[in-house]
Amino acid sequence: MNIDLAMEQYFGPKGVVLPDQGTTYRLAEPGITAQIKLAPGDYTHFKFTAVRYDLEPGASLDLAASLYAGRMLYGLEGDGEIVLNGRRRPFPEGTFVHVGEGHHVALANTGAAPLQVFSFVFGPSPEARADLMTRDLDGQLWLEITDTLRKVFGLVSREQAAALPDAGKGELVYLLPNEGPSYWQAKPSAGFVEVKLAPFTSNVHHYGVLMQTLFPGCGVREHGHNQLSEFFVISKGLARAALDGQEALCPKGTVIVIGRNVMHYWANAGETDAQNFAIVDPPGVEGALAITGRLRGPNETWPDDIPRNAETGKILHDRFGFVIRGNAADRTG
C-alpha cells in the first residue's frame, strides 16, 4: 500500500472570508462589536471557532476563564492591555496569547483608535453561536452571557479561577511582537517565520501557531498538506492567495481556510511586507519552516546569501506531509 498516495485521496474544505464578511453582533459591554469568522459546523474538520472583537477606545471586555476550552488571542490592530489572572500586561498590535483552561483573561482598549482582536476558542464557547443570540427591533444581534450560559460553557470569574488547582490548568503563553523563535526563509519565499506555539516551544501539541512575513515580490509556491489543515489571517499588508487554482486578493484582516490536500499558495501583492497569522492543526508546518530556514537573531538584517537547502523538497514531503508537484520546492527561482 502506498501510504502517501492514500493520504492524498482525502480532501478538506476551503474558503476566503474578507474583512467585512461574517455575522456581526454586539455585547452588553458598551463599545464592543464582534464578527464571527468561523462558527461551529462552518467547515468540516475545523474544531475551533474564530471571532474578531472590535473595541472602541476606553472599552473593556471580560472573557472569563473556561473550564472546558483553551483560547488564543491575536492583536490585529490597535493598542491595548490584557489582564491575565489579574496581572496587567501591554497588548499592542501583533501580540499573541494562548490562554489554557482555568486561566482568566480580560481585554481593554487603552489607545486612541479601535482595538481589533481575533479570538480562537478550542472547545465549547458561546461567542460564535448565533443561535444563542437575540435580535432587537432594529435587527441587531446581541449576545448576553447569562448565568445559565456561564454554567453550560464552564465560564468562571477571576476569583473562581484563582481557586482552581494549578494541576488542572492549561498552558499560558504571552508573546509580544517579535518574541519567539524566528527563522529566515530562502528565496522565493524571502522573509521570515516566527513560531508562536509549537510542540518544541510549549506543552501544547495538538495545534501550532506561526507568523510568516514575505517581502515585496515574494511568495510561497503552490503546495498542499496531506496530514493537516491551516487557518490564515492576513495580519499585515496585501496578499494574493489561491485555493485549488481560485485566486483572491486578500487585504489585512482576511481569513483563509485551507483544508487537507487543498493546493494553495500565498504571495505578497503589495509594496510593503505582507504577513499571515497561521493556525496549523495538527502541528507540522511551523517545524518544517524552522528546519529548512536559518535562525534569525535580534535586530538582524536580511542575509541575502541564504542558500536553498537541496533537501528541502524531501524534508517537507517525507517528514511533514507536504504535497508538492514536480520539484517546485527545490527550485531557486
Which CATH number belongs to the domain containing residue 229 in this structure?
2.60.120.10
Q: Classify residue 3: in a domain, yes or no.
A: no
Domain boundary among 127, 160, 175: 175
**How many domains does the chain divide into?**
2
Element (H, E) at 70: strand 70-77
Q: Classify residue 205: in a domain, yes or no.
A: yes
Cα separation, 303 vs 59, whole angstroms: 43
**Is a pLDDT exceeding 80 seen at residue 331?**
no
Q: Classify residue 5: in a domain, yes or no.
A: no
C-alpha cell at 51: 471571532
Q: Classify residue 138: in a domain, yes or no.
A: yes
Q: What is the DSSP-derived secondary structure letter of residue 260?
A: T
Domain boundary among 175, 200, 217: 175
Contact 329, 223 (CB under 8 A): yes
Q: Classify residue 155: in a domain, yes or no.
A: yes
Amino acid of residue 22:
G
The residue assigned the cell 488571542 is 73
* Region of residue 229 (left: phi > 0; alpha: psi -120 to 50; beta: else): beta
| Tens-digit pLDDT profile for residues 230-268 | 999 999 999 999 999 999 999 999 999 999 999 999 999
- pLDDT of res. 212: 97
Q: Does residue 295 share a domain with residue 231? A: yes
Q: Does residue 247 share a domain with residue 316? A: yes
| Tens-digit pLDDT profile for residues 175-225 | 999 999 999 999 999 999 999 999 999 999 889 999 999 999 999 999 999
Q: Does residue 247 share a domain with residue 166? A: no
Range of the structural domain that residue 102 is part of:
21-175
Q: Does residue 243 share a domain with residue 158? A: no
Q: Which residues are CB-neighbours of 53 under 8 A, at least 6 positions away? A: 32, 33, 34, 61, 107, 115, 116, 117, 118, 119
Of 245, 249, 208, 203, whose CA–CA distance to 229 is shortest? 208
Q: Does residue 192 share a domain with residue 167? A: no
Q: Say how many CA atoms lie within 13 Å of 16 toward its Cβ.
A: 19
Contact 248, 227 (CB under 8 A): no
- pLDDT of res. 16: 98
Q: Classify residue 139: in a domain, yes or no.
A: yes
**Is a pLDDT exceeding 80 seen at residue 310?**
no
Q: Does residue 161 share a domain with residue 38? A: yes
- pLDDT of res. 143: 97
Using a pLDDT cut of 70, give the percent of the chain over it.
98
The residue assigned the cell 490536500 is 261
Q: Classify residue 42: in a domain, yes or no.
A: yes
pTM: 0.95
Q: Does residue 151 share a domain with residue 198? A: no
**Is a pLDDT exceeding 80 seen at residue 307?**
no
Q: Across 194-203, 285-294, 315-324, which has the greatest mean pLDDT?
A: 194-203
Q: What is the mean pLDDT of the chain?
A: 94
Q: What is the DSSP-derived secondary structure letter of residue 131?
A: G
* 87-96 mean pLDDT: 98
Q: Does residue 54 share a domain with residue 142? A: yes
Q: Does residue 188 share a domain with residue 136? A: no
Q: Does residue 233 share a domain with residue 312? A: yes
Q: Classify residue 96: in a domain, yes or no.
A: yes
Domain boundary among 139, 158, 175: 175
- pLDDT of res. 256: 98
| Tens-digit pLDDT profile for residues 139-186 | 999 999 999 999 999 999 999 999 999 999 999 999 999 999 999 999
Q: Does residue 187 share a domain with residue 171? A: no
Q: Does residue 158 share a domain with residue 30? A: yes
